[in-house]
Amino acid sequence: MSLRRRLTLSLVTILILFSINVGTHFWGSFARNESMEAYRNSVTAAQLSTQVEQLLNDKRQTILVLDTIRDNTDDQLDEEELRQAREQLESIRLRIRELGVVSHDVTRLHFDRLQESSQLLLDQWLGFYDGYNSPSYQSDVNDPVPYLQTSEHLKELEQRQAFIAVQRANIIDRTIALTDRITVIGFIASIFLTATLGFFLVRYTNRSLKHLKRGTERIGSGDLSYRIDNIDDSGELGDLAAAFNEMSDKLRNAMYDVSKARDSADEANAAKSIFLANVSHELRTPLNAIIGYSEMLHDELSDERELDRAQFQQDLEKIIRSGRQLLNLINDILDLSKIETGKMMLHCETFQPGDLLEQACDAITPQLRERNNQLHSPDLSGLPTLYNDASKFRQVFTNLLSNACKFTENGHINVIAREPPEHPGWVEIAVQDTGIGMTEAQQKLVFEAFVQAESSTSANYGGTGLGLAICRDYCELMGGSIRVSSEPGAGSTFTVLLPSDPELTLEAA
């Protein structure tokens, strides 16, 4: 059982005992209140019974005196005396009703008898007063039976109320004594249970914390293979032990990742070293050509013999071509530096992609002749107008076509462009060749800067390994993407996806 469940169970048990104690306390208080209420009702009923009995007796004496006076004299009662007499009778009725209010259900029968007999008696007395001044009225107030019946019923009700009050008082006293005992027992049980649960919880928690402490000491000392498995808990302490075990695994994995990252850094340093060697070679080659042909032309100009203008022009063209090659290499390095520092900006304009693709195809004509390749491109005039950076668009496909020509000999290069139905508002342009192709591992590295598919690629085909990295960064900067699919010996296909909708261009970029 988890620590949380143990604590919850202990708390619920203590709360139940506490609730029982509180309930018994309120039960006892309620019983005391009932006892006081019953006592007050009994006292009130006794007082009312005494008052009613006294009022009935006084009124009967008064009526008997008046009846004697009426029989012996001709005196009559005035209206004020009659009104006071009626009010006295109504007052007696109200007292009897009040007696009924304080009566219990078990005394209802006795009260009904009293009310019935008193009603007859009071009606008789009221009739006496109503006919007092009438000479023809025959009084029957001397009959003691109604009065005696009312008095008897009043005494029976009073005795019954007193008996019930005593019984209720005894019951309530027993209830109070029982609630007091329950309260004391519950209080003692709460103390005992709290102490017992606290002892076991402290013992259990202390044992689990010792295991955790030992585990943290072992893990902290470098024993990352140690596991905290001897905690009998499926809750918080078990989760804590699992967290320590997971932390140990993560530390071990982190150390492995650090080692792997160090190896990757070493590989990156080696790749950059190779890149620097390639760049040095690539820069040195056109520079040597420029310097060599410039020295040759300088020597020819210093000779007094007649110049071979055709040869002179060929040498100048070689110098210009080497200078442009050198400029392209420097531009690639500068462009990559701008991209990595986030300073490369888009200069958007509206252009026809078909025109720029034809220009890129024309630019690699010398390479096509040199490698004996055939370039096939359909009619590209039907492509939608693009709103993007035309210069970067041209450079991307110049690099892709140049790459395809460089790695293909006596083969074919195809340029395929379309509006993909699965991507409305976009244009897809693919450069396909029948060159040497690549493996899956080589495809994963082909867009990385300073990296070529194989270390021997630069020696066999030249290049710095920046062209495809710049193509990828340019495509992403223009709001699009580039992907490659290839098989060794079966050629490669580089596919560029760019937005044709200006809103998509601004949003994606």
Domains annotated for the chain, with CATH where assigned, are 3-201 (1.20.120), 235-344 (1.10.287.130), 345-508 (3.30.565.10)
- CA–CA distance, 222 with 217 (Å, rounded to integer): 9
| Tally of helices (H runs) and strands (E runs) in the chain | 13, 7
User: Which residue's structure tokens are 């520092």?
Assistant: 341
Q: For all residues of the chain together, what is the average pLDDT?
A: 78
Q: What is the pLDDT of residue 106?
A: 67
What is the per-residue pLDDT across 410-444, written as a single tens digit (0 to 9) for each?
999 999 988 888 888 899 999 999 988 888 888 88
CA triplet 392, 397, 401: central angle to 5 degrees? 150
Amino acid making up residue 295: E
Between 108 and 507, name the one with better pLDDT: 108
Is the predicted pLDDT of residue 389 greater than 60, yes or no? yes
User: Which residue's structure tokens are 């009904």?
Assistant: 112
Name the pLDDT band for 484 (thresholds 50, 70, 90): very high
Instruction: For the chain, give the number of residues.
Output: 509
Q: What is the pLDDT of residue 307?
A: 66
Mean pLDDT of 132-159: 83
Please classify residue 226 by burial: count the beta carbons closer than 10 Å to its beta carbon, then call 0-12 exposed, 13-18 middle and 19+ buried. Answer: middle
Q: What is the pLDDT of residue 71?
A: 79
Neighbours of 397 (CB within 10 A): 23
Q: What is the pLDDT of residue 147?
A: 85
Q: Of 112-116, 185-189, 462-466, 486-490, which gets the smallest average pLDDT?
A: 462-466
Mean pLDDT of 89-103: 83
Neighbours of 439 (CB within 10 A): 12
Q: CA-CA distances (angstroms) from residue 84 to 119, 156, 320?
A: 19, 30, 144
Name the pLDDT band for 231 (thresholds 50, 70, 90): low
Between 224 and 393, name the one with better pLDDT: 393
Supply the Cα-derived Rg of the chain in whole angstroms: 58
- CA–CA distance, 32 with 39 (Å, rounded to integer): 10
What is the per-residue pLDDT across 262-295, written as a single tens digit (0 to 9) for each?
877 776 566 566 556 556 655 666 677 678 768 7
Percent of the chain with pLDDT over 70: 76
What is the per-residue pLDDT across 300-349, written as a single tens digit (0 to 9) for each?
777 766 667 777 777 787 788 677 667 766 766 666 666 666 667 778 88
User: Which residue's structure tokens are 């041209």?
Assistant: 394
| Token pair of 54 as six digits | 């006294």
By C-alpha distance, which of 482, 450, 447 is closest to 463? 450
Through-space distance between the first and last CA atoms of the chain, rounded to whole angstroms? 56
User: Crossing angle for the helix pair 467-477 and 309-341, nearest 10 degrees?
Assistant: 50
Amino acid making up residue 402: S
